[in-house]
Amino acid sequence: MLTLPATLQLNGKNLFRLTTYLFLICVFKFSLFCSELPGAPPFVIATGGKQEIVHDGTNDPQVFPAQKWNLIAPQSTFGATVQWEASPFRHVGDSEAEADIRMDLSIRHSTQNAQWTAISPTDQTNIANGSRKAGVVAMSTRRGVGQVELVVTFIESPENILVVGDYEAVVIATITEN
């Protein structure tokens, strides 16, 4: 069970709801090499929109549903690299209240030509030890498309007492040509 402040008012059934949001943002970063190639630059698209889960009230990690991302490198002779980055979950009303974030990346589909692979499939923050960024990476060797699944997890630290309320994290994807 979560440790809550003594002044917290619970509803009549002694239940509370901790809603956690995950915002997904795509950022397109194009290298100089990309602008010299004819045709479209590589891009990444998150499918499914904003995710939201309600904390189950246990100390267990809170796992968001897998989010699919489409990876497209139509003119990338040497392939492309996509990096997803995130900082810890942060309470919407109290910026001092944070929880660790873990990201797990897996390749769902890749065209044979592109050969998309997860070169850094798992990472997480560790607020207690000063690690405040998590990042996972997928890379292709040639032009082509792929699809990955990104699973984000809200992790409570034993040293941290969570404040009841909404927490959010932003995952940013950056794609560059190799």
Q: For residue 14, is it within any domain? A: no
| pLDDT one-digit tens code per residue, 71-123 | 988 876 788 999 999 999 999 999 889 999 999 999 999 998 899 999 999 99
- Above 80 in pLDDT, residue 23? no
Q: For residue 5, is it within any domain? A: no
Distance of CA 68 to the CA centre of its chain: 11
Count of domains observed in the chain: 1
Q: For residue 1, is it within any domain? A: no
Q: For residue 2, is it within any domain? A: no
E strands present in 13-97:
19-28, 43-46, 51-54, 62-63, 67-73, 80-86, 89-91
Burial 145-154 (b: 16+ CB within 10 A, else e): bbbbbbebbb
Q: For residue 140, is it within any domain? A: yes
Q: For residue 95, is it within any domain? A: yes
Q: Say what percent of the chain tops pLDDT 70.
A: 78
Provide the domain limits for residue 38: 20-177
Q: For residue 64, is it within any domain? A: yes
Q: For residue 67, is it within any domain? A: yes
DSSP state of 127: G
What CATH number is associated with residue 137? 2.60.40
Higher pLDDT, 121 or 156: 121
- Rounded to 10 degrees, the C-alpha dihedral 88/94/96/101 comes to -10
- CA angle (124, 118, 88) in 5-degree steps: 20
Mean pLDDT of 152-177: 88
- What's the pTM value of the predicted model, to 2 decimals? 0.78
